[in-house]
Amino acid sequence: QVQLVESGGGVVQPGRSLRLSCAASGFTFSGYAMHWVRQAPGRGLEWVAVISYDGSNKYYTDSVKGRFTISRDNSKNTLYLQMNSLRAEDTAVYSCASGARNIDDPFDLWGLGTRVTVSS
């Protein structure tokens, strides 16, 4: 079964860190670029970051640059998002998504997401 399953969300205080994971199954994970997309409560979709199939290229939205790091372990079929210096405005459901080999391909597979709440 082709699927993406996120985990690692929770409630965290401002300034603290959290690492999200996205476990892939049913397809050749190592051949696909992977993205993180988030959705704040009651808001629309916001693209967060992308990593190439081999991890050599990464891009981020401006608001998370220097704070978030996207990475992957192809031996474990898992995508990660290390989130440091968290802010209230990072509160959202974080979903991973994949398209195809290229980092600029459309997203045809999405996970259900994991909720992150940043609050004191």
| CB of 103 vs other proteins, minimal distance in Å | 8
User: Which pair of structure tokens corresponds to residue 113?
Assistant: 């997401």
**Closer of 88 and 112 to other proteins (Cβ):** 112
Residue 27 touches other proteins, criterion: CB under 8 A: no
Nearest distance from C-beta of residue 24 to other proteins, angstroms: 14
Report whether 9 contacts 114 (CB < 8 A). Answer: yes
Cα separation, 17 vs 15, whole angstroms: 7
Residues 117 and 11: beta-carbon distance below 8 Å: yes
Write out the binding residues for other proteins, residues 71-110 only, by CB under 8 A: 95, 104-108, 110
User: Other CB atoms closer than 10 Å to residue 33's CB: what's the count?
Assistant: 21
- As a whole number of angstroms, the distance between CA 72 and CA 103 comes to 14
User: Is position 62 an interface residue for other proteins (rule: CB under 8 A)?
Assistant: yes
Does residue 33 belong to the site contacting other proteins (CB under 8 A)?
no
User: Using CB under 8 A as the criterion, which residues of the chain lie in contact with other proteins when the complex forms?
Assistant: 35, 37, 44-47, 50, 59-62, 95, 104-108, 110-113
